[in-house]
Amino acid sequence: MISRLLAISGRVQGVGYRDWLVREALRRGLQGWVRNRPDRSVQALVAGDAEAVQAMIAACQRGPLLARVTAVTETSAESPDQPGFSRRADG
């Protein structure tokens, strides 16, 4: 199991990005969370099988139909402290 903290920038707020990411993460069996950031980016913690995490990162570079992703940066992270995948409050 690996964990990555993602910072996703571009037109990613107000386009359903968080809901899309939750659906995609659950479909891939991942754990973690997603939230909006004050700088108009989206931040996500994704954890699970290495192949599924890498597939999620690749999908995040496209995002949902209305999104226009300009960058996805990733850093290693601690595993989430709760099971499942959820939307967190903005922060």
Encode pLDDT of 1-45 as tens digits: 999 999 999 999 999 999 999 999 999 999 999 999 999 999 999
For residue 36, the enclosing domain spans 2-78
Split into its structural domains, the chain has a count of 1
Give the pTM. 0.94
How much is the average pLDDT of 68-86? 95
How much is the average pLDDT of 46-65? 97
Is residue 20 in a domain?
A: yes
- In this prediction, residue 91 carries a pLDDT of 78
- Residue 18: active-site member: yes
Separation of CA 71 from chain center: 12
- In this prediction, residue 45 carries a pLDDT of 98
CA angle 51, 66, 21 (to 5 degrees): 35
Is residue 53 in a domain?
A: yes
Name the active-site residue from 4, 11, 18, 62.
18
Name the active-site residue from 23, 36, 37, 68.
36
| CATH number of the domain encompassing residue 52 | 3.30.70.100
